[in-house]
Chains A and B, each alone.
Chain A
Amino acid sequence: MDLGPYLLFASLEGLVHAAVLSLIALGLSLVFGVMRIVNVAHGEFFMLGAILAWWISGFVFGSPAIGFLLALIIAPLIAGVIAMSSDWLILKHLKYDPEATIIATIGILYIIQQAVLMTFGPDARPVEQPFNYRLDLYWFGFSAYKFFVVFSAIILLFSVWLVMAKTKFGLILRATQLDSETAQAFGIPISTVYSLVFGVGAAIAAVAAVLIVPIQQAHYLMGGEPLLLAFIVVIIGGLGSLRGTVAAAVLIGMSDGIISVFFSPNLAKIIATLFVVIVLLIKPNGLFGSEKT
């Protein structure tokens, strides 16, 4: 391939990365924005989504599309319910103290990881693509399923924005984010809101996992790297900013994809981490974060 088509190919791969990454980071950013806690277990909800997708699709015979669709609905639900339970059982009792919740979510990380290891074993698990169609892009063929991943991510991001900006539930979330004490004084049950947000954050990560697992395989240790990248995205985009999160995910996902194709995945991570250091030095609140701390 010539450089031009090769760059196009790398960009398309990067776009798929970016789409999945923006979903994962969106969940992390939502949780941090509303609850002011750093969820270290976020990557495990992503992993859980992927493993569940494999497990669910194993029950379905016939077209892989049916198993995939089922997984797309059920896996995020289960991940969400597990997240909500851990909120009720653990985080709530720590009163969402910023430091204590970091330690607690590290604990949740290991519990989920080891539970998955003991239940489903250490092997990498493939999930069949719901449809197998290659688009002919003149210089090379490109999986139509990957376009579907990008498209689905855009739809989901747009829906979340719509809910946040235009619905009463979104208004309640934004008010809780701005001043939880005053929100309570106007009748908002913030512990219910927190539980829901924690569940939705995990469910969004699980959706991202179900989307990517036909390309990537499910494995009980797969949560670490997306967590790191999601942190990078959220720091660059500005914690709690939806727009910033998406913009930073596109930036990091694309460069990660392109650098991985041309050089090596490790170099991509090194550059992304360097980028975080530079952003933190120049704009500590992130590129899109508000000025106040």
Chain B
Amino acid sequence: MLEVSNLSTYYSNIKILKDISFTVQRGEVLCLLGRNGAGKTTTLKSIMGLVDKVEGNINFNNERISKISAHLVPKKGIGYVPQGRRLFSELTVEENLEIGLLTRKNGEQTINKVLEMFPRLNERLKQVSGTLSGGEQQMLALARALCIEPTLLLLDEPTEGLQPSMISLIRKSVLELKKQGVAILLVEQRVEAILSIADKIIVIENGAIVFSSTAQKIKNNPKKLYRFIGV
């Protein structure tokens, strides 16, 4: 479904990502691990078309998306939950969701489904999103991305700075989406938060993939992964 092959990304002529390749299939959770500054966010932004220059190929449903304008990417069915949430903080909860619905023709059904998933947001539709608690903001960021009805969801450190109860709620939502067949690309810093829900794991360091394996193999022999992430 998503095929990234030999992706190199540049910010003002500095090569940040070096020859990255991976695939994500329907209903699969791929976890991207790596230290701060490794290039995880840049990988997601490259898929969304939000970087200066990319080389290599990004295909989604057999269509090349690495050369199209950024605003056309979500229309293909790719939902994005950016690092640090990036809500439109002065807009209300409802308005943030409306932005999420922009690519859709009949959003009525979608929004009902999404609000059913997050009843806490339903109670706060008129609240300015910047005044929500951290957990609620993350819910809204996820809900906004789900308004696209994505078949591929990109999540950038969705558990960053959240309480354990919120983390388990986010995890539950991810599992639910996986069950519905959504392909998920999940960026995390903490292994323990994701090992149980990942199908495949990739570690990047300095913009290059240094380790890649399936969750099954790692369960049997976790030492190899831990060497890379320094646990």
A residues at B contact (CB < 8 Å): 168, 171-172, 174-175, 178-179, 181-190
Contact of A178 among B90, B100, B102 (CB under 8 A): B90
Residue in B73, B82, B102, B103 whose CB lies within 8 Å of A182: B82
Cα–Cα, bound, A186→B48 (Å) = 10
Q: Residues of A contacting B49 with CB < 8 Å?
A: 184
Residue contacts A-B, CB under 8 angstroms, 14 given: A172-B99, A174-B95, A175-B99, A178-B90, A179-B88, A181-B50, A183-B99, A184-B48, A184-B49, A185-B70, A186-B74, A186-B102, A186-B103, A187-B103
- Pick from A178, A188, A189: contact of B91, CB below 8 A: A178
Given contacts A178-B91, A185-B50, A190-B71, contact A172 B102 (CB under 8 A): yes
CB <8 Å contact, A175 and B91: yes
Report yes or no: B69 in contact with A174, Cβ–Cβ below 8 A: no
Q: Are B82 and A186 in contact (CB under 8 A)?
A: no
A186 to B98, CA, bound (A): 10
Q: Within 8 Å CB of A183, what residues of B?
A: 88, 99
Interface string of B68-81 (1 = CB under 8 A from A): 01111111000010
B side interface size, CB within 8 A:
25
Residues of A within 8 A of B74 (CB): 185-187
B89 CB-CB contact with A under 8 Å: yes
Task: Return the chain B residue nearest A193 by Cβ.
Answer: B71
Q: In the assembled complex, how far is the CB of residue A132 from the closest CB belonging to chain B, in whole angstroms?
A: 47
Q: Is the CB of B86 within 8 A of A182?
A: yes
Report if A174-B91 is in contact (Cβ < 8 Å); known contacts: A183-B99, A186-B99, A186-B148: yes
| A-binding residues in B (CB < 8 A) | 48-50, 69-75, 80, 82, 86, 88-91, 95, 98-100, 102-103, 144, 148
Most central of B70, B80, B89 by chain A CB within 10 Å: B70
Q: Is the CB of B70 within 8 A of A184?
A: yes
The answer to whether B50 and A171 have CB atoms under 8 Å apart is no
10 nearest A-B pairs in the assembled complex, by CB-CB distance: A187-B103, A184-B70, A189-B71, A182-B86, A178-B88, A187-B74, A185-B80, A187-B102, A184-B71, A175-B88
C-alpha gap A264/B87 in the complex (Å): 50
Chain A residues in 8 Å Cβ range of B148: 186
B-chain residues with CB within 8 Å of residue A188 when the two chains form the complex: 71, 99, 102
Whether A189 lies near B69 (C-beta < 8 A) is yes
A187 touches B71 (CB 8 A): yes
Q: Are A185 and B82 in contact (CB under 8 A)?
A: yes
Contact (Cβ within 8 A) A186 B100 = yes
A-chain residues with CB within 8 Å of residue B71 when the two chains form the complex:
184, 187-190
C-alpha spacing A182/B156, complex, angstroms: 13
Contact A186 B144 (CB under 8 A): yes
How long is the Cα–Cα vector from A184 to B49 in the complex, in angstroms? Answer: 9
Taking the closest CB of chain B, its distance from the CB of A285, in whole angstroms, is: 15
Instruction: Report the Cα distance A38→B88, complex, angstroms.
Output: 23
Q: Is the CB of B86 within 8 A of A179?
A: yes
**Distance to closest chain B CB from A186 (angstroms):** 5
- Closest Cβ of chain B to A100, distance in Å, is 14
A171 near B48 with CB under 8 A, answer: no
